[in-house]
């Protein structure tokens, strides 16, 4: 019994200490607030090139190979010289071996047009017989890959995320990937 209550006491004391430490910590804490600016647009508000890009991303969903997720994603990239390239997600029975539409498109663009920066990347997703109502959100790995292209070509990549109800416009991938890890850490 005595051992039990001593143990209990020990636990309550260390719990109190922990609370105190947390309290002091939260009083001292400085905060870093990160803001991302996302413009909310509709298709009608886009210029002709952006409309073409969104149409290209939607069209690219048709070439998606997504038998496992039934989630078809298409992307279209506008290059510095005005060329538009597109791609889609390509899945594999060994799940991690597949790639997202953004990466397929980006790797294709940089392989075929090595000297051209990507200026805008549009993305659309189609599932269960319809395009998403809300804008598709690129996965973390794709954000990291897009960041590398921004850095490599020293040009921000504008991103257009399509949804039937609205389209998100993001001026640089940095807005979608705060506190990112990049080559500067490796110098
Ligand atoms: N996917 C993309 O291609 N892009 C995204 O932005 C999100 C997810 C793909 C990966 C996988 O083939 C399927 O969608 C379901 O996750």
Catalytic residues: 102
Give the pLDDT confidence score for residue 20 in this predicted structure: 60
**Residue 27 pLDDT > 90, yes or no?**
no
Give the residue-averaged pLDDT of 139-166.
Answer: 97
Closest C-alpha residue for ligand 1 atom 8:
100
Residue 29 — very low, low, confident or very high, per pLDDT cuts 50/70/90?
Answer: confident
Measured between alpha carbons, how far is 173 from 48 in angstroms, rounded to an integer? 22
Distance 137 CA to ligand 1 centre (A): 9
Pocket test for ligand 1, best of 100, 107, 125 (most atoms within 8 A of CB): 100
CB 168 within 8 A of CB 137: no
Ligand 1 contact, 73 CB (< 6 A): yes
**Residue 19 pLDDT > 60, yes or no?**
no
**Residue 147 pLDDT > 80, yes or no?**
yes
Residue 22 — very low, low, confident or very high, per pLDDT cuts 50/70/90?
Answer: low
Q: On the CB side of 161, how many CA atoms lie within 13 Å of its CA?
A: 19
**Residue 16 pLDDT > 90, yes or no?**
no
Pocket test for ligand 1, best of 90, 101, 132, 176 (most atoms within 8 A of CB): 101
Task: Specify the pTM.
Answer: 0.86
The region of weakest confidence among 18-27, 46-55, 168-177 is 18-27
**Residue 172 pLDDT > 70, yes or no?**
yes
Ligand 1 contact, 138 CB (< 6 A): yes
């Amino acid at each position: 019994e005595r051992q039990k209550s001593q143990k209990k006491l020990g636990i309550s004391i260390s719990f109190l200490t922990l609370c105190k430490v947390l309290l002091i910590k939260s009083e001292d804490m400085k905060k870093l607030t990160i803001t991302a600016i996302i413009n909310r647009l509709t298709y009608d508000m886009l210029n002709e090139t952006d409309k073409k890009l969104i149409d290209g991303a939607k069209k690219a969903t048709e070439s998606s190979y997504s038998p496992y997720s039934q989630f078809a994603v298409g992307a279209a990239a506008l290059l510095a010289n005005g060329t538009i390239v597109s791609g889609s997600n390509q899945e594999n029975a060994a799940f991690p071996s597949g790639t997202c539409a953004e990466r397929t498109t980006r790797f294709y663009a940089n392989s075929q047009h090595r000297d051209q920066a990507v200026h805008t990347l549009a993305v659309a997703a189609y599932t269960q017989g319809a395009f998403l109502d809300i804008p598709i959100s690129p996965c973390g790995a794709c954000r990291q890959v897009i960041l590398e292209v921004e850095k490599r070509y020293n040009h921000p990549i504008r991103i257009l995320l399509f949804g039937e109800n609205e389209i998100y416009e993001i001026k640089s991938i940095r807005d979608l990937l705060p506190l990112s890890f990049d080559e500067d850490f490796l110098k």
